[in-house]
Every structure is written in C-alpha cells, then in structure tokens.
Structure 1
Amino acid sequence: MIDYGFKVVFPEPQFLKEAGFGKVARLPFIFDGEPGYARLPNQFLIDKGLGYWDPKWRGAKRNPLPPTRQSMKDYAYWLANALEWAKKRGGIDLMTADYTDVLINRYQDEMLKGIWSLNNTPLAPETINPRAQIALEYQMWAADKGLREPFLVPTVTSIYVAGSHNNSKSHEVKSVESRKGKVKVNKRTLVFPSDEQIAAWRMRVYAKPIVGKTEGLIADVILSTAIRREEASCWRVDTLPLDPKEWKIVNPDQPEEFQSVIVTVKYGAKGKEYAIDEHGDKLGPEGTIHVPIWLARRIDEYRNNDRLLALKPALRQGKTAEAQRRILKQMVHLFINPKTGKRYTGDQIYRFWTEANGPDHWSPHLGRDWWACTYLWERMKQHTELIQQVLKVPNMQKNNHPMLLALRDTVQTVIQLEIRPQLRHASAATSEIYLQWLFNQLRVPLNQTRRWAEMGVDESTEEERA
C-alpha cells in the first residue's frame, strides 16, 4: 500500500454531530500512513482539546478553558511532524523514547541542522521548540495514562520582572519553569519597509479589479488600528455602532483629525476561547481599541454602499424575497468579497496582503508592529528636547545617564499605557520590542537626518557622536 505519511484531517463538524460525536466535532485528527486512524495520537488530541489533560494539571482536574481551535490545529500538525520523523528514523516509538537521547539529541538536533526540514535548511527556534514540546507532552500524557513508564522532565526556573498592566513603573518579580533543552530564541528585531514601499504596496492592493476597494479598506483598518487579521475577518457589521450618533468619541474637544472612536473587539480575538458562536467565530477576551474617526467614517460609508453591492452573489442564491432576507440576516460580517458574496477569512486576508508584490516579510502581523512603532515615533515628537539631550550623550547605550533613563521611562509609559492596550498584548515583554526599536533608531542618528530635521532637533557634532 502507498505510504501516505501522517496527515492532519478536519472532518465536517455537522457530520460528526449527527453521528453523535458533537464534543469532538471541531477537533482535528491524524491519519497514519496505512492510511488509518492514529488511535493513541488522536486520543491525546481529544483529551487535550476537551481539557481532560494538560501539562500543568496532568489530568488531576479538567481545564475549564481548553485550547482554542487554532491551537489544536497547530498541535495536530506538530505532533504529526514528530510522528512522521519517528517513523522515518527506523520506527522510533515516541511512546517509549527518551526525552534527552531522542527528542533533544536526535529530533531537535536534526531540525537545528536542517536534516529534518523541507529544504535542508536549519529551522528557526520558533518552529523547533513547539514541535519538541508537543512530542514531549504526548509522552507525558502516555505516562499519566499508564501507557509507558513514568519519567522526569528536566526543568529550569527563571526569574523575571513583569510590568504592571496599568503602570509602567510598577513591577512584580515572577518565576517561570521551563524544560531544559529548549532552543534559545533570539529577541525579534523589527525592520520595516520604507514608507515609499508601503505606499506603493497599498496602491497595488487598491488597484486590484473588483476587490481592490474592499481589500484596501481591510489593509487600512489593520494598519490604522493594529487589529489582527482574524479580528478583521470576524469584524461585524455593527462592531462600529450603526448609528454615528452612538459612536463613543473619547476626545471630542480635540481637532477632528485627532479624534478617535472606542470600539469593542471580541470575535476572533487571540487568547482564551470562551465559545464558538453560530457563525463559527471564536469569542475571545474582550478588549477596546481606538479607531480614528476618519477611518470610522470610511467603514460606515463602505457598509452602507459597497458592502451591499458585494452581497449580490450571495443573495442570488435565494429564489424568493423571504429566502434572500434569511441570507441577508446570516451575513453578519463586515468585509464581503464582491466576487463571491462571502466573508473574508483570516487566510484570505493574509493571501491578498502577501500577494500584492509587497516588500519582503511584509505581513498583517508586521503591520501591527508598524502601527505601534509609527505611533511611538509620533508620540516621541512631543519630547524633542529630551531626545535632543539624549543624542548629545556620548556612548549613550553604554551608561545609565539620567537623560537616557528619563527617555526610557517616557517611552515605557507610552508603550504600557497607550500602545499595549491597543494591541491587547497579554505580556508586557511582548511590547518591549518597540522600546528596543526606538533605541535602535537613536543608535544611528546619522541615518535619521531627515526625521530629526522634521522634529526640529539639531544634529550633534562629530565629537558628540563618537
């Protein structure tokens, strides 16, 4: 029989519900190379997906908030990769394999060296660590179920200082335990395309026939609010209140160009999965974001005009006026593809974003980071005198000069109280890359001549920059 390898499959949820398997209707499954149902790997995925087992409680009690659908999809693909590797390496049995000798010294090592990769190139730590982790959890689950001998996982405890959600100068010492043998992940360094490259990419998106106006608006919403692509996909017609009189403008006394509307986001939000609604959208942690009022008006204009035209292909499916009304009632999402009459999915947003001949590595996620750094840069323009003093400090990155510390505190306050709530980062550490980005800009003031000039900052002398 042909060796198909291990594959992840996604059954039709309605079929499983009608067959009496509603609890697992949204879980992925793994088929082996026979092809056949991989019994033990799938039982592990079921227990994990339903909250019956997790690495923290080890089955002692049920996890009230099991992994999200996206997380379970990732777990299934990572586990299938580990199972495939084990099979290709002479039939290694993950149920009995040793953590150090097999998972670390062989599986992880082959990924690091590029031996176990599609193009024979070393894989990134962000790819390697989750694969090794899920293989380890599969072993831990097997031990807890009595399917293999118990074993100890070597761990290391790290201490770190966490910032407060509400105050950048309030800190708390925390500890975290992690397994030994993880590949060290280098801190992400942000590098963005030039403003000219982004502008040209945006014009190409808008220039696409039929769909350009809609997809351009989606791109503008992401770049102007820093929402995730899945949140853009799940954005409802009434996420921004239908009546402009009900818009909550947080700063009505400001000039209109600076005004913003508060909007609540929960559908498709990253984090815990509280429920799946009747339209298949995840209900995640609820958060509020600021939407520039000029963008709110564009959204309002789109839903009252172009969106109604985009719905025509879907409405044609209804043969009577009543059938069309039912279809229209089901179309709750804001962004509709005018070619199909259907909503945009997160994958479709990623596809049009990356296929518009954009700069290298330009993605919706990097668009979120771009918003954060652009906002930070604009806010720092209000502190030009402080920045000017910092630029005059010799070897500013190598000392604790009061001016440098004052700038750092100012930046951290903006990040924690303004940028982080908009991005809805769970961890303060995630937002630290923006602080590093700003100081990377300050490291090379010679390359920032035009920007400093725009901010009214005098250039320092050659001796001061030494």
Structure 2
Amino acid sequence: MNNQKSKLSYGYNITYLQPKALQAAGFGHLADQPFIFDSSPGYARLPNQFLIDRALGIWDPKGRRSSRNPMPPSRVSMRNFARSLCNALEWAEARDVDLITADYSTVLIGRYQQEMLKGIWSAENRPLKANTVNPRVQIALEFQMWAADKGLREPFHVPTVTRTFIAGSHKNSRSHEAKSVESRLGKAKVNKRLLSFPAISEIEEWRQRVQERPIVGPTDSLVADLILNTAIRREEAACWRVDTLPLDLNDWRIVNPEEPDEHQSVLVAIKYGTKGRQYGVDEHGDKIGPEGTIHVPLWLAHRLHAYRNKERLAALKQKVKRGKTVAAQQRLQQHAVHLFLHPQTGDRYTGDQIYTFWSRVQGPPHWSPHLGRDWWSCRYLEERMKQHAELIQRVLRMPNITSEHPMVLALRDTAQTVIQMEIRPQLRHASSRTTEIYLEWLFAKMRVPLTMTRQWAELDEDKASDEEAGE
C-alpha cells in the first residue's frame, strides 16, 4: 500500500493503493481511486463505498440509482470529493455527530457550515470562503443521500428553491432563453469576483525575470507566453504534445491568411488535461477531456515549432541517456510525447511545476497562471472594443446616463457579442458568471455605469457541486 496522504492534515486521510496490486487483485479499474482511512487508523468502509459508487457511476446525486451514470466524475473530481468528505467526517467525529443521520438544516447548515464560515472549523482559525464551504457541505449531503438510497438511514427531504436565469450561447449571442435550475436552500453566498490586473510594465518585468532564470528560463518563458497568449490552463500546457501543433507547417490551419502575419492565427485542437468530463486516461497518465479548438498566434506557433526542433531535442537527449541499452533508450524516446521538457533532465513539465516557476519569480501581487488566463480575456475584449470607439465616446459624453439607456444597452450587447462569439470559445468551459465578470471589468475601466444581473451566475453556483474539480 502506498500511503500518499492528502496535503490537508486531517484525522481522516486519503490513500492511493498501488496500481499493480489492484490490477493483480482484479480491481485495476480502481487504480486512480482515493480511499479514506479513519483516525484509528482503519478502512472507512461506508465512506469508501460511497466514493467507489460515485467513481464508477453506480450512484450520483441526480440519478439516485435510477440509472447508471455513463460519464462518472474525473479523477480530479474524485480527489476533491474525498478531501471534502474527509473534512466532514473529521468534524463529525470531533463534534460527536453521526454524519449519516445528521439533520441538514440544524447540523450541516446550522453547525458545520457556520463553523467554517466563522473560522471555528478551519486550519488557521480564519473564516473560509463560500466556494470552499459549499462543496464540503454538498458532499456531506450527498453521502447522506447515498446512505438513504442504500437503506442505511431514513429517507429525507432537502429544501430547494427554483431559480430562473437567462442562458446564452457562444454560437449565437442573441439567442437568449429563460431556463430554470433547482438549488438547495442554505448554501453560503459566493462573493462576486472582481478583476484587477498588474500594469503591462509589471508583467513584462516579471516575464523578463522568468526568461533570465539560469538553464530553465527560455523554456519557462515559452510556457508562460503560451498561457498568456492563448488563455489555456496550466494543466493543458503541461499536457501539450509534440504534435498538438502539427509537425508539418503545411498542415497548419491558418484561419485568416489574408491578414498581416502578426495578426494571423493557427487553429489547434486540444483534449489532454482539459477541464470537464473525463473520457479516459491515456498511457502517459494524462486525462482525456472534452476536445476544444483554440487560436494560437502565428508568431507563437513559429516559436513552438522552433523549440521542438532545437531546445526540446537537446533536453530529450538528457532523458535518453538514462537508458542502459539501445532498446531502453528507444523506449524513453518513444514515451516522451510531451512538448515541454526540463532542459537538464528531459522530464516533462507538470501543472504544479508551471505554477511553481510562475510564482517563484517575484511578480506582481496575486499573479498566477489562472489570472493570466483572465488577463488574456480582458485584454482581448479591450482591444476588440477599441473598434467601437465612436460608440464608447458617445456614451461617455452623455451626462447622467443610466444603465438602461439604449446606447449603454448597445455597448453592452456589443461587448457581450465579443465575449460569447470569440472569448468563450477560446476559453472553453467558461461560465456565464465569467461573462459577467469580464463585462464588469470592461465597464469599470471605461467608467460606464452598468447594473449587471446575477441571474447568469446562479446556474454556475449551483453546478459547482456537480462539476467540482481542480484548476
């Protein structure tokens, strides 16, 4: 058994068993499954059976055993479920509460949730944010629902409320329709995220420091530039393959060849490490997620092409040298499918390593790969809106203009069209709440009054517990 414990210090701990041992015992399908051991320590039988049923799609909170879920949660989601459940189990043990039979309103909401929000139940005695609290309460509730379906407790009712929101589509920004979603009552309110970015000069100074790092600087800065100029996630950058950008330049799909070179972009399909449903794990350990198509600036595509034909080959030689025989060296070369390799070892970059180098070099406050993704989105929106300078200036010149003025509505619709038709397809899996955040950033920067509705965000808050994953 491989005792890989969660980084979170719980009395209940997460363990992953050795894949070979599971395979030999006929349980190879549980190779990536987290298991919980209690504070005794001992195997937590019921929590683990719940996690196994969730992982295999035998049970989920929507189907409630009426049908098997053909698309079970991803391994990242399962890890997050296990962490949240560990927290709830330890709290219940510390408070002498039976988590399976605990009342939703008085115990899960009135005590467990309130103690987290007040900082009574937190590692540093600080109030926890709603987006941390809600998934923990949700998984505890799902554990109870599973137990009820298994006959381990009496059936119970979860109070809910139905909310209506306006849904849009990145395929048609004008096709709005009203939809409804059912949400459980008692959820902690998520504070609205507000965006602010460092000055361009600060980002450039940070990037220069990354570039100047000994040995790894050129590769690190290329990874950073890929994120900042395409808005991909760090895990997607880590999973980027040698042939993600076609090896032959003749196979590059340039969408706007009539434009000057500096404005041209190449269409690239990515599916490894993408956020969303997990369709499998490949032989290299990468999640196979929903496939999406992104635009890569042509100038950046040429840099990636030059890297894989020079610096990457030099890094790969370092890895191949480890092989004791020709056959072993050939295997090492064949299994090196990722584009970004460490210059000294030839090992692939990981998402955690990308975050580490990003934050290791002293940069602006709160600067992270994820904020870099938002930075691309807002910069793109701002540049596209410059094409509508006349409309913007007319709005700004009008005194005491209201958010419902036809010109403000026209400006909002124009910005929303850019977000829906151009930014969201590039981001993939972007929520309606993100659309609202980008609009608010733009209008705050322009100092245009705008009252945004929270309706679009409500769906995403309710879906968070179903799609909880790491990013």
- For Structure 1 versus Structure 2, the TM-score category normalised by the shorter chain is over 0.9
Residue 426 of structure 1 and its aligned partner are, at CA, apart by 5.0
Q: Taking structure 1 as the reference length, what is the TM-score of the superposition?
A: 0.92
**Correspondence for 1:148 among 142, 148, 153:** 153
Counterpart in the other structure of 1:83? 89
Counterpart in the other structure of 2:429? 425
Within the alignment, does 1:368 sit opposite 2:373 as a pair? yes
Amino acid corresponding to residue 300 of structure 1 in structure 2: H
Residue 4 of structure 1 and its aligned partner are, at CA, apart by 7.2
* Structure 1 residues 22-421: aligned runs within 5 Å: 22-89=28-95, 91-396=96-401, 398-421=402-425
Q: Secondary structure at the match of 1:367?
A: helix
Counterpart Cα distance in 1 of 2:433 and 2:448: 24
Counterpart Cα distance in 1 of 2:207 and 2:248: 29
Q: Secondary structure at the match of 1:174?
A: strand
Please list every run of 5 or more consecutive structure 1 residues that lacks an aligned counterpart in the other structure.
Answer: 446-466
> Is the contact made by 1:162 and 1:429 (CA closer than 8 Å) also made in structure 2?
no
Q: Secondary structure at the match of 2:395?
A: helix
Please list every run of 5 or more consecutive structure 2 residues that lacks an aligned counterpart in the other structure.
Answer: 1-8, 450-471
Q: Secondary structure at the match of 2:341?
A: coil
Cα–Cα, structure 1 residues 165 and 379, in superposed 2: closer, same or farther, change >3 Å?
closer
User: For structure 1, which segment, 255-264 or 27-36, has the greater mean C-alpha deviation from structure 2 after superposition?
Assistant: 27-36
Amino acid corresponding to residue 94 of structure 2 in structure 1: K
Residue 31 of structure 1 and its aligned partner are, at CA, apart by 0.9
Which digits, 9 at most, give the CA deviation of each residue in 1:141-192, with x for residues without a partner? 0111011111111111100010123111111111001110001112211111
Residue 11 of structure 1 and its aligned partner are, at CA, apart by 2.2
Amino acid corresponding to residue 103 of structure 2 in structure 1: D
Residue 249 of structure 1 and its aligned partner are, at CA, apart by 0.6
Counterpart Cα distance in 1 of 2:211 and 2:142: 46
Counterpart Cα distance in 2 of 1:4 and 1:285: 33
Which digits, 9 at most, give the CA deviation of each residue in 1:66-114, with x for residues without a partner? 000110010000000111111111x211011111111000000001101
Amino acid corresponding to residue 19 of structure 1 in structure 2: A
Which digits, 9 at most, give the CA deviation of each residue in 1:40-82, with x for residues without a partner? 1111100001100100011111100000011001000000011
> Is the contact made by 1:164 and 1:172 (CA closer than 8 Å) also made in structure 2?
no
Which digits, 9 at most, give the CA deviation of each residue in 1:377-424, with x for residues without a partner? 11111111111111112233x332221111111101111111010001
Cα–Cα, structure 1 residues 43 and 124, in superposed 2: closer, same or farther, change >3 Å?
same
Q: Taking structure 2 as the reference length, what is the TM-score of the superposition?
A: 0.91
Residue 195 of structure 1 and its aligned partner are, at CA, apart by 1.2
Q: Secondary structure at the match of 2:114?
A: helix
Residue 199 of structure 1 and its aligned partner are, at CA, apart by 1.1
Aligned length: 441
Counterpart Cα distance in 1 of 2:362 and 2:121: 30
Counterpart Cα distance in 1 of 2:448 and 2:122: 37
Amino acid corresponding to residue 379 of structure 1 in structure 2: R
> Is the contact made by 2:33 and 2:52 (CA closer than 8 Å) also made in structure 1?
yes
Residue 444 of structure 1 and its aligned partner are, at CA, apart by 7.5
> Is the contact made by 2:396 and 2:448 (CA closer than 8 Å) also made in structure 1?
no
User: For structure 1, which segment, 106-115 or 9-18, has the greater mean C-alpha deviation from structure 2 after superposition?
Assistant: 9-18
Counterpart Cα distance in 2 of 1:211 and 1:35: 43
- CA-based RMSD of the aligned residues comes to 1.5
Amino acid corresponding to residue 277 of structure 2 in structure 1: K
Amino acid corresponding to residue 422 of structure 1 in structure 2: Q
> Is the contact made by 2:275 and 2:429 (CA closer than 8 Å) also made in structure 1?
no
Counterpart in the other structure of 1:453? none
Cα–Cα, structure 1 residues 21 and 108, in superposed 2: closer, same or farther, change >3 Å?
same
> Is the contact made by 2:10 and 2:90 (CA closer than 8 Å) also made in structure 1?
no
Counterpart Cα distance in 2 of 1:242 and 1:4: 47
Cα–Cα, structure 1 residues 4 and 391, in superposed 2: closer, same or farther, change >3 Å?
closer
Amino acid corresponding to residue 222 of structure 1 in structure 2: I
Which digits, 9 at most, give the CA deviation of each residue in 1:234-290, with x for residues without a partner? 100000000111111100010011000000011111111111111111111111000
Cα–Cα, structure 1 residues 15 and 206, in superposed 2: closer, same or farther, change >3 Å?
farther
> Is the contact made by 2:10 and 2:87 (CA closer than 8 Å) also made in structure 1?
no
Which digits, 9 at most, give the CA deviation of each residue in 1:194-220, with x for residues without a partner? 112211111121121111111111000
Amino acid corresponding to residue 186 of structure 1 in structure 2: N
Counterpart Cα distance in 2 of 1:410 and 1:4: 49
